[in-house]
Structure formats: C-alpha cells, structure tokens
Structure 1
Amino acid sequence: MDRVRLMPLELPPASSINTNGTGKTKSSFLRRLALGFGLLAILGLLYVPAYHSAQGSLQGLGEIPNPSPPWPSQPMASVAQLPGWAYNTTRDIRAYIQPESNTTIIAPIGICTVPPYLIIIICSSALNLKTREAIRNTWASKVNTNNVYNMTVEVGFLVGENNNETLSELLEAENAQFKDIIQEKFYDSYNNLTIKSVMMLKWVTSNCGQAKYLMKTDDDMFVNVPALVKHLQTRPSPSGALIGSLICNAKPIADSKNKWYMPKYMYSERTYPNYLSGTGYVMSMDVAVKLYETALETPLIYLEDVYVTGICAKRAKLHPSNHPGFSFAVRKFDPCVFQTLITAHKVSPTNLYTMWQKIHDKNVKCPNSSPDQKKGNLIRKGRNAGHYSVRRRTINKCV
C-alpha cells in the first residue's frame, strides 16, 4: 500500500471544496474499500491450509474426525494429544469395527468346524513369523491340541492390516500352510489394540459362537493349556466366566511422555474399574457376546484390557475375577513353576523351546506344588504395576 495513504491528511477549508468533485471522492473511497476486502480474502485463503496443516500433524493413520469433540471448551495447547487418538477423533467403535460388514481379509480354515471347548486367539503381528512358529511347535502344536489336551482346543493368530505387500503375501501363504491366521480390516498398531480385541470378539462370536470358552493372549506368552482346561472343567457352569490376573484401583497416567499416558479427554475418572491384564484372560462365550454388544455402545479408550475387561465389563454388570495361575509378571524360569502356572509373560521364542523341552524332560523332578502356587498372590511387578500406578498394597485388596 502507498505510504502516502497511511499518513494523516490535512483537510482543506470547507470554502475551498468543489462540490463537482464529490463523485470522484466517492469513487476513490469505493476503490479503497474493495482493495481492503481483497486483502482480507487473500489472508483468509492463506490461513485455511495453514490451519489444516497444523491440525493434520496431530492425527495418526486411520483417524476419523469427531463432528462433536467431547471437550470443545478445553484449550488445545493445554492438552497433550495421544498419537492416533487426538481429542477430535471419533471414539465410536462402530466406525472401526463395522459390525454390519464382513471385515475379515484372511480367514482360518477349518477352525470351529467342530465346536471347540476352548478357542485361543493370540494377538500377533504380521512380522512375528518366528514367534508364531515357536508357539505352533510348543504349547499350541496340533499334536497337543488334537490328541493330548483331552478337549477340543483351537488356536488362531489375529493380525491387522499393514502397508507391506510382501508381508501380506507371506501371511496368505502362512495361512494356506497352517490354516490359523485371522486378518481383520484395521491398521495394526499399539494404540489400536482395543480395536484389535473387539475385532476378536466380533470374529469369534460370528464364526465360533458354539465354543464354550474364549481365551485372549499375546504372542510373547506361554500358556499351560492342560492347567487351564483342568481349571475350566472344575467350574459348575460354562457361563459367567471372566478370569485372569486382576488389577484393582489402578490410576490413569497423566504424564504425556509415558507410553501408557491417558488424556482426560479420553478418560476423566480418577481410577479405572477393576480389570484383567491383557496379557491373557479367559471368558465364557456368553460373556464374549455381552462384552461385544456392550463395546459397540461404549466410547473407546486405547488401553484394551482396561476397556474390554474393565469399562465394558462394568457396564455389562460382569465381574472379572482373579486366578493366581495368570500373571503379567515375568515368571521364574523354572520347569517346576511352568508346569503349575497358566500363563507366563515375556517368553521369547528361544526360551519357549528351551522351557518346553524341560517341562517334558522325565528326569526333571518337581515337588507337588511350586513356590508360585503356595504364595497364592504373585508379586505383581512389570507393565501394569509401573504404568498404571498400581501399588502393591492396593493390589492385595483384589478379591
């Protein structure tokens, strides 16, 4: 803009004004007004892409914007956004699960043709081929599930989508060989584990609804299937079961730098409901149906164990129960301990092979009960104790 136009103007005496110039003055004023509106329009066009660029940096893959953010009055600058789950991302799980659609990309072959007593779904990743191979060769081997465990036990590996075409082809080939891969239509990431677990409930209730029990576990776990089946057979009825390692009075993490950070816009209560560690839990099929139906009406939080076995269970009036055989802790690497537990966490493929051999070594002599079983309650250290601010004295109140 011309510098002269920005300086104060000295008005001439009224007597010197020529009334014939009124039209020219009005014309000049209109030109200036039009120029001002033009500059404002240009600034507006520059602002819009800059704003969306800033917003886009907060959103992760697969996010769906929420038309009505839950905390519209809270300043964005004061809230640390959770990667993949910004405050304005919809948490309506129906948008991700698509309950009315078939979302299965790869389906296992023959699983649940005969209704199993127990179906075990192992949450895995497309990359973890060696881990799945170790599990198939040890506690989930077909020889054991078909002949040794004295009950029909089926095992499937649940994975999500990935952007690697080679990995996708390998998964298809793996399923053609072992017939135990379930791939569902969602992006596989840590912060999408809740979607993964609800996809599990969807697939099992839709394809294996005649099973008696469902177990969810991870691919870094050892599962003592005979001990689990033995416990389930002692139950008076195959209904109402929701069993695992119970966590009580856990508090959300407010530190945004922590991996298990829980923002207030996602969960605002002071404590979580009592829930089962996601490393491994078991439910009867009627409970699986209730949890799935409840999840479809419950806003999502990204910690899957808190969401499925805590929040959804509470809304469905279900009560998770503790069993000392389940643990998220790292167990003592002792075959006598592994023979009596139900789950052990953070077992590498190499250690899995080693322990499997030791468990079946007839020269290994064990007492009638292991130290873990005598204690009743394990010392619960590890993921949940550290990341959900659980105190040991608080955990001991779990009943």
Structure 2
Amino acid sequence: MTEPASDPLGLAAFACRPSTSRGRRHADSRPDLRNAFQRDRDRIIHSAAFRRLEYKTQVFVNHEGDLFRTRLTHSLEVAQIARTIARALGLNEDLTEAIALAHDLGHTPFGHAGQTALNDCMAKYGGFEHNLQSLRVVDQLETRYPDHDGLNLTFETREGLVKRCPLAHAERLGDVGQRFIDGTQPSLEAQLTNVADEIAYNSHDVDDGLRAGLLDIDALREVEWIDALDRHVEAEYPALGGRRRVYRIVRELIAGQVNDLLTTSRERITRANPLGPDDVRASAQPLIAFSPGMQARHRALKDHLMANLYRHYRVHRMTTKADHVVHSLFERFMADLQLLPPEFAESARERAGHNGRRGQARVIADYIAGMTDRFALEEYERLTDPTKLT
C-alpha cells in the first residue's frame, strides 16, 4: 500500500486518476482549474435532480419534521464519510465525492416505499431500480447542454452509480454494464462509496428513529453492539443523557464502522496487491469490506431496525399512503397521457410509437421518480380532488 512518491496527487497506485479516465460519452472541453472528477462533482451539484433530493424522503416524509434526514442530507453525509476513508486509503477523494453525491439521484419520492411501489407498477414494463435510475438521470434525463442529453459524466463516476444489475439490464448499459457480465469489480472509489452509504444509512436511521420516538435507547440495547457502545459512553460520561447521549452513541457507531472498514480493507488490498485500477477490477471479490464480526453486528442492527423502525405502525402508515399515491399516479397517467405535463406527454407518445406501452410506461416512471414527496402529494390531489382544478 505504499503511495508513489512522485504522484502529485498523493494517490496510491490502485486509485483512479483523472488523467487516465476512460472518458466521457461525448467530447468535452478540458478547463485548467478542475480535473475531470471535480467537474463531475460540480455538474451533479448544479443538477435539478440533486436539488430535488432536499424534498425526498429518507425514512420520514419531508413535512413530518425539519430535523429528519432527507436524501440530500444523506448524500452529503455519505460523501463526508467516504472522503474521510478515501483519504486514509490513498484513493481519489474527488471521484469518491462525485459518486456519493450522485448515488441517490434516481430515488423516488417516499424513499424505499416509493421505489417498491414504482417497481410494482413497472413489473410488466422492465421494472424500476433506483441505482439504474440514477444512471438514467445523469446519462439522459438532465437537460443542461445544447448538444447532448445528460450530464456527460466520466465512466468512473457512472460505474459507481450501479451497485447491482440483472444481466438482462447489464447488456443494455454498455460500458458500465460490462462488469456484471464479466463478473469483475468496480473501482475502489465505487466500492468505498457503496459501503459508506451503508454506514450512513444505518447509523443515521438510528438517530432519526430515536428523535422521532419510534426507537427507544433502552430497547436498542437489546442489540449487543449498541449495548456495548452505550456502556462505553456511560463509563466515559456517567451523567450524560438526552440528545447528547444519543449523539455520542451514533458518533461511536460511525467511528467503529469506519475503523473496521479501514483495517479490513487495508488487509485485503495488501493481500491482493493491485498495481492499478485495472487490477482492482480484475479481483474476484471486492477489496473494500467489513470484517466478518462487523458484518454480523450490521445484520443484528438491521434486524432490530426492520422490526422496530421500518415496520413501526407510523412508518407503515406512510408506506401504505406512499404505495397508494404512486400506484394511483401511474395508473391514471397510463390511462390518459393528457394528464401529463405537455413535455412528458409528448415524450410518452413518441416512446410509445417506438416501444409500445413499455416505452410509454418508462416516461411515466421517469416523471414520478423525479417528483419530491410534496409534489407527488400535490399532483395526487390535483388528479383526485374535485376542488383542485389545476
């Protein structure tokens, strides 16, 4: 894991470099002030899809409280965790940040409940998966440039957006789908961002669940991992209580995962001894990973969150409403394209001409997936409430 002394970026040999990027789908200028991955990051931040993440659910619907996490705050937290680990491993921070900021651009309103509902609606038309939708957003749906669709990001950023992909879809994705066909790995920056997403998701759902009163710290101590952390915090700060106690536990939760990931990943990288990104991609298994012990702790925490947070009756009410709203919107738009905004109606008719109802459904899925929680609820009211005429 020795970093090349002559590397001006201070990167390890196995890190991705903008100078050796596999490039963009469309020819592009190369300004002096930013490298290719920094330009990717900036294009993502300035995109409409990124701004909409502010009003898309993580677990709690946006209007349920100002302090709960949204897809935007989650993406920023993933980027912070991933950059810290990238720096420690000698990976490319700019590329890591770009992937982290873009990884949820394809998420539906209402979090995973919305994705499940939209996937159900699209079952006959090719399905819906938010990672593939994120790639679709940056490749096709953003319209910021006069001569091409999408944000025209580098291959390295785009490959990091697709965590999993059925072979049938992979064959249609071209360059970024080839690794699913070949059984190879993505870059270490992509692998890292995937795990950083998991660290942020679990840790901050604990925080939000406690804040909302859906989780109880004493009940959480049924999870051995949380119990050990809580006892450690209590020993260090005997009088600490309330939110300060929760913050400290969540901080320890994140730090423990980061340290385990660093130790295990360093060991894996040392054993594999990749001399460059191509060696990383040729590895049989991911090189960024938790230890078996941490994986077991993760499973125990996820089981507790599933039983006590994600299946809580208040969350289930939101999930049921989200399912109804998404299904209702999809069915009404499929039945009458005139209900869509003109640009989407025109696109749906055009796609239907080429690919029948499958093409029409994909445009409708794009429209619904791009909605914020608030807009989806308003659109539902406009379509179903007789008093809402526009």
The alignment's TM-score, normalised by the length of structure 2, stands at: 0.27
More helix by share: 2
Which structure ranks higher in relative contact order (CA pairs < 8 Å, sequence separation ≥ 6)? 2
More strand by share: 1
Question: Rg larger in 1 or in 2?
Answer: 1
